[in-house]
Amino acid sequence: MHAAHSYLLLGRQPIIVDAGTPGSGRLIHDQVAAHGADPKDARLIVVTHGHIDHFGSAAELSRLTGAQIAGHITDPVTVPPGSDAARSNRQHLGRRLRRGWQGPPRGGGAVGTSGGT
């Protein structure tokens, strides 16, 4: 059984938050499409923390969508500190955070997806 507890943030470019357990990347991919977004338009997969049920399918989902993976710089399970990925995440998330919160995107918002096979 694969479980996927993810969120889809809809806006100019969809953002996937969390990537479920290993093997659930296709399920999440298909749920993104079921909610009216093209999975190839997703540019970012945000892993909230290093528990297997949150990052387990991040690599698979990234391969399916082409989206980059971002995690907290200090979470050693998600991204080893000091790695190239950690520096990239810090820079990418920093750019997004510097823009500031401007409310939910026009015509969009958060859609929760949850399922299992």
Give per-residue pLDDT as tens, 32-82: 999 999 999 999 999 888 788 888 888 999 999 999 988 876 665 545 555
Domain ranges of the chain: 13-100
How does pLDDT run across 34-46, given as a tens digit for each residue? 999 999 999 999 9
The angle that helices 58-65 and 25-34 make with each other, rounded to 10 degrees, is: 50
Q: What integer pLDDT is reported at residue 81 of this predicted model?
A: 53
- 97 vs 73: CA distance, rounded Å: 14
Average pLDDT score over the chain = 74
Q: Is 114's pLDDT higher than 50?
A: no
Which is the CATH superfamily of the domain at 13-100? Ribonuclease Z/Hydroxyacylglutathione hydrolase-like (3.60.15.10)
Q: Is the pLDDT of residue 102 over 80?
A: no
Kindly report the pTM of this predicted structure.
0.65
Q: Which residues contact 101 (CB under 8 A, 6 or more apart)?
A: none
According to the model, what pLDDT value does residue 56 have?
86
